[in-house]
Every structure is written in structure tokens, then in C-alpha cells.
Structure 1
């Protein structure tokens, strides 16, 4: 029986289905790092889709820094994501989370820019408290997903444009799923990576405090792009 979620979820496009299959093959080591992928014609035959669909898939894999094109040679695998990623989400979820990060860069980059220009003293205090709560949770070894979301929401609310926090709240489940994965992987990594993540948050806060909208936007988009990349860092 179909669930409500199944009824609401749109059917996956052919390119999304093939993207998942190739990503799975890369994670499992079936397509090897620094080795050439099969040609477009071969991939088209293997996955029973058109070559334009394969080109669309390869473009997405390039955006996710998983493959690179070499002129006159073809496409090569550049990164094999850590197999532990699959412990936290299905491939379909990982693909969706990547697209969510892509959307968040524009949404939250804009929010940070307007927050820098419009935040009140009280809102700035809320952002600062959220940042400190996140830092403390990290120091205690917590995954801190709730604290991380609260930090981003505080910035969205400081735009004084209700559309920003409304959209962010509507995406809470998707966003927190991505946070669960990236923050868990970060906790399993080095202290240096933990410090890097915190410094990215600090850069956003500093720019908002200074009222520098462009710098705040850049710091936020850099942070989200880096977070997306950390999910796909190689094994």
C-alpha cells in the first residue's frame, strides 16, 4: 500500500535513477578513482537511457565533484565517497540532500545578506547565543543537529522577511537529514575538520555583526558548499 509520502513524492526522472546507480557503483568501488568511466555510448547501453540523459547525469556528478572530464579522453572518477555514508542514508536520500544543499546556497546566502543589513540588536543576540550553544554542543561531542538548525534559523529570522524562516522551516526534515550525515562524519573525522566547520560559522556571524551583507552571503554560501563537499569526501 502506498504511503502518504509515496503519494506526495514525484516520480524520479530517468537521470536521477541513473545518477543513483552510478553513484552506488562509485561508492562500492565498481568505478575506480582515477580510472576512466565507460563511454557515453556504453553507459547509455548499460543503463538503457539516451545519451542526452547520460550527459545530464555526468554533469550532476561533476557538480558533486565525483567525476571530471578530460578533453579528448572522457570522464574519470575523482572521488569515492566514504562507504559509511550509506549507513546514514539511502542513495536516493543522498542525491536529494545534494540538491537541497544546492538550493540552500541561494536561499541562505540571501538570508545572511539581508540579516547583516536588517538585524536588530535582539536578533543579533539570538544569533550569538545560537552560535555559542552550537559550539558548546560540539565540545561535548554531540552531533548537535538541533543546535545547527537553530543557528541557521536565527539568521533567517533576522532578515525580518517572514518568507525566509517559513521556507527554512518547511525544509526542516530535509535539512536536518543532511546535517545528521555531515555532522556525524565530521565528528568521526579529525579535530581540524571540527575547527574548520566552526570557523565557517564564525565567519558568517562576524560578517552579520559588521553589517557586511556581501561578505555574509559569501561566507554562508561557502559554508554550505563546503558542507556539501564534506559529505562526499573520499574514502
Structure 2
């Protein structure tokens, strides 16, 4: 007589909101999955629902799901295992969601990605072309950031002013125009990165300032490759710090899963 079998326990169904068609669908799915990672609903090491199931839950096609998962992988939050699916790799700290509310995060990450390319080349040209007056303006912006650290202020405006000063020293108005046209996105990214650094440990801002110093030193010695690399490294590190994946400052606890 065959042995009776038990039905497998049903897989829990995550609660996904219907997509808003006026916004990019992959961005919306990216942010909803990210929100569930931050909240712990999808814990580190957990397997995400399959592409087919995510598409069905969210009401979108598999190409949209793949794009969202690809961005999560690029940000180091999810890892794909061949033949096994996608798994949560890293959970940002909970305060991330309070200062970078859902609805703005995908734009924030894209802005960081664009700035790596834009400002890296601006710094390269600034090293080649800067005048004495432009170098002075960059150094004054750096000094203003030093004062911010001393007083414990946030310094988002001062940080933004530093990046604008470097772009102006490239002596190509299109760099400055592009950066200023991104003003709200750039300032939002700087604000989030700095407020999270302050919330984590104030000494983290010293690491950020050391990155600024590396950019200035390369520009000062007219080292285009060094300036490009220093600026690209700084902005990429800012993106990682926003996601809670940056190297811990001295005295900090290591990030979970890093």
C-alpha cells in the first residue's frame, strides 16, 4: 500500500504593489525588492522568487524582471547562482530607507553611475588645464569641507561646491552645465551619503575628505590620470557607502555580509 504523502508547504507570497506605468517598471521593481531586503523580509542568503514568479507578482514581463535583478546585482545587493536563481547578498542598514525613500533610489544610483564617468573626465581635464585662480577655488572648497568636519555639520552644499569647482577647472562649460543640470540628483546623493556617514560614525567623513584631498593633490601636480582615478574612486565609494558596502572607518563595526 503506498505511503501517504504530505503536501509541500506553500511558498509565502511577498506583497508587491501594482506598477505605476508612468515610471520605469524595472526601477519600480528594483525599489520594491530593495525595500524588502532593507526590511529583512528578504534576508541575507535568502533566495528571491523566480523571474517568472516575480513577473507574475508584480505584473510585468520577464525582461523587466531581468533588468531589475541586473541592477540589484550591479549594486552588490543580489548575487546570481547559475542554475539556482538569485540570492540576497547584502542588506543595507535600516536608516538607508529613511534618508533615501523608496521612489528616489533608482535615480540616485543611476546618478552616481553617470557621475563616475562625467566627473572623472572633468577632474582629468582640470589637472591639465587649471589656472592658478581655479586651483585656489578648489582648495578653498576643500578648506570649507574641513571646517564642516570640525563643526560636525552635514556639509552637503559645501561638498557639492567642491565638485562644481573641479568641473569649472576643466575649462569646458559643458561639464559644469551637465553637473548643474543634475543639481537636485547630485545634491540628493551627496546628502544621503553624508547623512549616512554621520549616522554610522562621524570619522567616516574623514575618509570622504581624504578622497577629496587625493583629487586635489592630483590636480595640483597636474596628473590627469591620477585625478581621473581619484575622482572616479571617490564617487564609486560614495555609491557603496550609500548602500552600506563601503569599508568601515577605524573603530566601526564591519558591515554585515561584507
Map Cα deviations across residues 172-202 of structure 1 (whole Å, 9 max, x no partner): 1111111111101111222442221111111
The reply to whether residue 126 of structure 1 matches residue 147 of structure 2 is no
Report what 1:110 is aligned to.
121
Report what 1:214 is aligned to.
225
Task: Show the 5 A alignment for 1:65-214.
Answer: 65-214=76-225
C-alpha distance in structure 1 between counterparts of 2:87 and 2:233, whole Å: 26
Which structure has the highest helix share of the two? 1
Q: TM-score, normalised by structure 1?
A: 0.92
The reply to whether residue 46 of structure 1 matches residue 60 of structure 2 is no
After TM superposition, what 4+ stretches of structure 1 lie above 6 angstroms from structure 2? none
C-alpha distance in structure 2 between counterparts of 1:170 and 1:52, whole Å: 31
Residue ranges of structure 1 left out of the alignment (5+ in a row): 1-9
Report what 2:45 is aligned to.
34
Structure 1 residue 86: deviation in Å? 2.2
Residue ranges of structure 2 left out of the alignment (5+ in a row): 1-20, 245-254
**What value does the CA root-mean-square deviation take over the aligned residues?**
1.5
Map Cα deviations across residues 81-118 of structure 1 (whole Å, 9 max, x no partner): 12212222321112211111111111101100000000
Range that drifts further, 170-179 or 220-229 = 170-179
| 1:229 match: secondary structure | helix
| 2:80 match: secondary structure | strand
Paired residues in the alignment total 226
C-alpha distance in structure 2 between counterparts of 1:13 and 1:201, whole Å: 34
- The structure, 1 or 2, with the larger RCO (C-alpha pairs under 8 Å, 6+ apart) is 1
Q: Contact 2:31–2:102 (CA<8 Å) still a contact in 1?
A: yes
C-alpha distance in structure 2 between counterparts of 1:151 and 1:53, whole Å: 37
Higher alpha-carbon Rg: 2
C-alpha distance in structure 2 between counterparts of 1:16 and 1:60, whole Å: 9
Map Cα deviations across residues 52-92 of structure 1 (whole Å, 9 max, x no partner): 21111110001111111122222111111122122223211
C-alpha distance in structure 2 between counterparts of 1:86 and 1:169, whole Å: 26
Structure 1 residue 20: deviation in Å? 1.6
